[in-house]
Structure 1
Amino acid sequence: MSRVVVVHGVGRQLDTAETLLAELEPALRGGVGLALRRDPTLGGLADGDVACVAYGDLYRESGARGEPYYRAEDVEDGFEADLLEAWWREAARLDPRIPGPDQATGGPGARGAVGRLASRPLTVDRVRRGLHALTRSRFFGAVSERLLISDLKQVSRYFTEPGLRAAARARVEELLTPETRVVVGHSLGSVVAYEALCAVAPAPDRGPLTLVTLGSPLGLAGLVFDRLQPVPGGWPTAVKRWTNLADRGDVVALVRELAPLFGPELQDLTVDNGSEMHSMRAYLTAAQTGTAIATGLAV
């Protein structure tokens, strides 16, 4: 049985647990290896210790060929538009070359990290400006507008479709065994992992769990934090240790310190992923991530 369970983020609808494991396990082992070089007393990994949760297929349309060809007109008012603006504002704050929402419209200065597009009339032109700015930023530069809209919709669907949400969390719960020691969640996967662990009660045959969140949007007020189940800000009772890691330039991890929201026991760490600010592989190969995982394995 696996001792480390890894939960992916959006954009993985063509992957299975097997393809994810082939890609992510070497990166995870590399990060743990770096940690063991620094402290050999930490816990290592044996064959079969890592398993990946795959829930991307829940987003695949039956019989559909590839991703729908989304356009700016397909971004819906409310959650999708608000999340787009939150990313847009943060990208502009981090990258001076990117015009922010207020600059683009000639309005007053920024009103904080998270704007509310829904507070203004939604226009396709404004959405286009946001998409244009993001896909030319350092963060989203390799992502097409079509895929960026798809990511918005995947996050939105998780919070608005109870059946999909429950099914994704069930995929995590299925892999949790008495041998599991560490759960790693990246991006939206950190939300799925968090909510799944909140539903897991401590048991006599289950050891203490460590939660490691990477590039997490859990702290994003209004859009993510306030929608968490069962209670925003609750500590998963089965979790003994929680480490949250964020790159300073990660637009998705807009709120990089989660301890003020979830409790002082949570450890927030900053990592440097270079030009791959939100890359799961980059997060996993960081020595800080490896240390958090290896510490959980040593318990």
Structure 2
Amino acid sequence: MGSIVVVHGVRNWKRQVSPSVAAQSLADSWQLQLTAGYENAGLRHVEVPQITAAYYGHLINDTEAQGIDESAESLSAAEQSAVLAWLGATSLPTEPAESQSWGGLPLRQTIDLVARRRGIAAKTVSRIAVAFIPEVYRYLASPTRRAAAQQAVADSIEASGTSVLVAHSLGSIVAYETLHARPDLPIRVLITLGSPLGLPEAVFDILNPAPVGGYGARPPKIAHWTNIADSGDLVALPRRLGDRFPVDVHEEAHMAAVDFHTLSTYLSCGLTAAAIAPHCT
């Protein structure tokens, strides 16, 4: 049976269990979702690869993280700045009057403007900001957490021996930096799902290694890189990573009206199964 390592994104911290139990719990649920993806891709007779979960949620969170307050105004000043950078990439104004005031709008008004442009509730935009930005910020702002998360991913890869890495959301940032820091790892195929790697200011401009000339470097040992984005995913920005990274294949489709950024949505999609299957036979 083939095998893959899957790197999770935000909101996967399991507070009261050991890292090994948390990783196995995630892998078990992902296995079911990927099996559904294989069925959706018409690959019912193809063996689904065994998943190893690269779990790092406990390394970038603490006892005060993931609270119940879903208001973007509850975030720190630095996190709110990251939210504004994300909102700017999410829905840049096109009308002159809006363009003139975009940079000076308070956070709540900016959220309302983006929500109107995207045709979704402002509460939904705020909830996504609170779920996504704090963990991304904690990872990128702390060298200690950054190194620990990368080590967890490297350990999972070494334990599995696989050459295929699937990384979702924040996990694509951790995976990208890990593969650059550890070119000795056996990964040759990278599949990114709902990736914010190209997000200006909040992510792209502070990656390690730093982009050169507005372009991110390909991890040195990667022979094939596929990026998949839900066309409505507010986190996968810009969706076409090929504009900023040497991606070989970009796939984009409408997958879900509500759960457009969840890993379960991506794993259950036939596009993901079709990207994985040729490398796990």
Distance 2:12 2:121 in 1: 17
Distance 1:72 1:235 in 2: 34
Question: Secondary structure of 2:201's partner?
Answer: coil
Question: 1:181: Cα distance to partner?
Answer: 2.2
Distance 1:244 1:196 in 2: 17
Partner of 1:97: none
Amino acid at match of 1:52: A
Partner of 2:198: 219
Q: Given the superposition, is the C-alpha separation of residues 150 and 65 from structure 1 closer, same or farther in structure 2, using an over 3 Å criterion?
A: closer
Counting aligned pairs with the same residue, the percent is 31
Question: Secondary structure of 2:251's partner?
Answer: strand
More helix per residue: 2
Moved more, 130-139 or 28-37: 130-139
Question: 1:248: Cα distance to partner?
Answer: 1.4
Is 1:156 matched with 2:137? yes
Distance 1:65 1:257 in 2: 31
Amino acid at match of 2:47: G
Partner of 1:50: 51
Q: After superposition, where does 1:1-299 map in structure 2 within 5 Å?
A: 3-14=3-14, 16-35=22-41, 37=43, 44-45=47-48, 49-62=50-63, 64=64, 67=67, 69=69, 71-78=71-78, 80-89=79-88, 92=91, 108-110=97-99, 117=103, 120=104, 126-131=106-111, 143=124, 145=126, 148-177=129-158, 179-202=161-184, 206=186, 209-232=188-211, 233-263=216-246, 266-275=248-257, 276-298=259-281
Amino acid at match of 2:249: Q
Distance 1:77 1:251 in 2: 21
The normalised TM-score by structure 2 is: 0.80
Distance 1:284 1:61 in 2: 28
Unaligned runs of 5+ in 2: 16-21
Contact 2:226 2:248 (8 Å CA) reproduced: yes
CA deviation map 1:11-40 (0-9, x unaligned): 1122721221222111112223444639x7
Moved more, 193-202 or 242-251: 193-202
Contact 2:85 2:201 (8 Å CA) reproduced: no
Distance 1:220 1:144 in 2: 16
Question: Secondary structure of 1:243's partner?
Answer: strand
Q: Given the superposition, is the C-alpha separation of residues 149 and 65 from structure 1 closer, same or farther in structure 2, using an over 3 Å criterion?
A: closer
Distance 1:6 1:195 in 2: 15
Amino acid at match of 1:13: W
Question: 1:240: Cα distance to partner?
Answer: 1.1
Question: 1:286: Cα distance to partner?
Answer: 1.4
Contact 1:219 1:258 (8 Å CA) reproduced: yes
The normalised TM-score by structure 1 is: 0.75
Question: How many pairs align?
Answer: 268
Distance 2:66 2:133 in 1: 17
Distance 1:176 1:230 in 2: 21
Q: Given the superposition, is the C-alpha separation of residues 290 and 61 from structure 1 closer, same or farther in structure 2, using an over 3 Å criterion?
A: same
Contact 1:209 1:296 (8 Å CA) reproduced: no
Distance 2:221 2:86 in 1: 32
Q: Given the superposition, is the C-alpha separation of residues 116 and 181 from structure 1 closer, same or farther in structure 2, using an over 3 Å criterion?
A: farther
Question: 1:229: Cα distance to partner?
Answer: 1.0
Amino acid at match of 2:154: E
Over the aligned positions, Cα root-mean-square deviation in angstroms equals 3.3
Q: Given the superposition, is the C-alpha separation of residues 22 and 138 from structure 1 closer, same or farther in structure 2, using an over 3 Å criterion?
A: farther
Question: Secondary structure of 1:252's partner?
Answer: coil
